[in-house]
């Protein structure tokens, strides 16, 4: 049985319970909220299909029925130019037909040690040129680099920042906004400078946005809201994350985060789960339910609306 059908069966009880509660005008309005999901959250389901040849449409259909309206890709095959084994235009068309739009994607690589030493960025630029072309075919508005190790020196960090600026300028020419996603290690210091602050201060806002992962920021002993106020407008994307499903731990102040979304500059956000208390399907459903019901979460943060 394909995992799209398995997910659908797993959802039957939850959806039936929702139906039993009845619907009203307020509920209908809430259900129209734009809520995105970073597909890394469901990686175990996707990984269960060899070479990503499983029922990706079935998974997207199930997520749409849960209430998700947007997705952020987590797997891009740069050599094949595909996402989850599908051609970008085909995946975009399939998702759109199910009511989900691929708004963003995680992909790419920073400069490697050899490039930092030699100054030869040829392969780096070739990678990004192709990645930008493939992501334009997917129709995303945002392309995000999800990881960079902590450099040993500020000189190397500065080179990385300049390289990010170049990629951002390349992406902008194709109508795509480029950014960087943090974990917790970016809040460590490099020669007495906090890596994350240095990156924000030494990249051009016209070229590089930041996708703040609020949970990992807290794990790095940083306050997301303090960063929003310190660098207003730089955080166009947010990863809404908790220890497990959203709201599970009580340790993340999601109300304060969303109340300061305008200061952050947030244009959209994506739920991301590292793990779930029980089944991951239940976890992603509980997370979207939490945000749909939350009075502090607006229906949309898009600047075009």
- We report the CATH number of the domain holding residue 214 as 3.20.20.150
Looking at the domain assignment, is residue 234 inside a domain? Answer: yes
Query: Which pLDDT score is estimated for 26?
Result: 38
Contacts of 73 (CB under 8 A, 6+ apart): 39, 83, 84, 102, 104, 105, 106, 107, 138, 140
Bridge partners (DSSP) listed for residue 189: 194
Residue 223 counted as domain residue = yes
Does residue 3 fall inside a structural domain?
A: no
Question: What pLDDT was estimated at residue 55?
Answer: 81
Query: What span, in angstroms and rounded, lies between the C-alpha atoms of 144 and 174?
Result: 15
Establish if 205 belongs to a structural domain: yes
Output the pLDDT for position 47: 64
Number of domains in the chain: 1
Residue 238 lies in a domain: yes
Domain membership of residue 42 (yes or no) is: yes
Residues of the chain with pLDDT under 70: 1-31, 47-54, 304-305
Q: Which domain holds residue 182?
A: 30-293
Task: Quote the pLDDT of residue 32.
Answer: 84
Q: Are residues 177 and 183 in contact, defined by beta-carbon separation less than 8 angstroms? A: no
By DSSP bridging, strand 237-240 and strand 209-213 are parallel
Give residue 5's pLDDT: 47
Residue 4 belongs to some domain of the structure = no
Question: Which pLDDT belongs to residue 182?
Answer: 98
Q: What is the pLDDT of residue 23?
A: 35
- Give alpha helix (H) positions in the chain: 3-20, 25-30, 43-47, 56-66, 88-98, 113-118, 122-138, 154-173, 195-201, 214-219, 224-230, 254-259, 261-264, 280-293
In a domain, 12, yes or no: no
Locus of tokens 């220890």: 243
Single pTM value for the model: 0.90
Rounded to 5 degrees, what angle do the CA atoms 206, 211, 216 make?
145
């Amino acid at each position: 049985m394909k995992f799209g059908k398995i997910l659908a069966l797993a959802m039957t009880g939850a959806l039936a319970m929702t139906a039993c509660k009845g619907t009203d005008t307020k509920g209908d309005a809430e259900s129209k909220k734009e809520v995105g999901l970073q597909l890394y959250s469901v990686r175990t389901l996707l990984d269960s299909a060899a070479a990503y040849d499983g029922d990706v449409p079935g998974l997207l259909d199930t997520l749409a029925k849960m209430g998700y309206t947007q997705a952020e890709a987590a797997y891009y095959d740069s050599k094949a130019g595909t996402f989850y084994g599908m051609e970008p235009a085909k995946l975009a068309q399939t998702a759109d037909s199910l009511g989900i739009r691929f708004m963003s994607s995680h992909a790419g690589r920073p400069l490697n040690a050899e490039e930092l030493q030699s100054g030869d960025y040829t392969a780096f630029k070739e990678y990004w040129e192709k990645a930008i072309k493939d992501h334009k075919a997917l129709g995303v508005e945002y392309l995000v680099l999800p990881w960079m190790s902590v450099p040993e020196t500020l000189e190397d960090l500065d080179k990385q920042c300049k390289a990010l600026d170049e990629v951002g300028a390349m992406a902008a020419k194709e109508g795509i906004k480029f950014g960087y996603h943090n974990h917790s290690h970016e809040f460590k210091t490099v020669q007495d400078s906090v890596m994350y602050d240095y990156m924000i201060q030494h990249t051009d806002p016209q070229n590089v946005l930041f996708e703040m992962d609020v949970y990992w920021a807290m794990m790095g002993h940083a306050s997301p809201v303090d960063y929003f106020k310190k660098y207003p407008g730089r955080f166009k994307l947010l990863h809404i994350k908790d220890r497990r499903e959203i709201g599970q731990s009580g340790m993340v102040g999601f109300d304060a985060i969303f109340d300061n979304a305008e200061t952050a500059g947030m244009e959209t956000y994506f739920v991301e789960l590292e793990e779930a208390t029980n089944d991951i399907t239940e976890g992603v459903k509980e997370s979207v339910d939490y945000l749909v019901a939350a009075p502090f979460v607006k229906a949309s943060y898009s600047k075009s609306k």
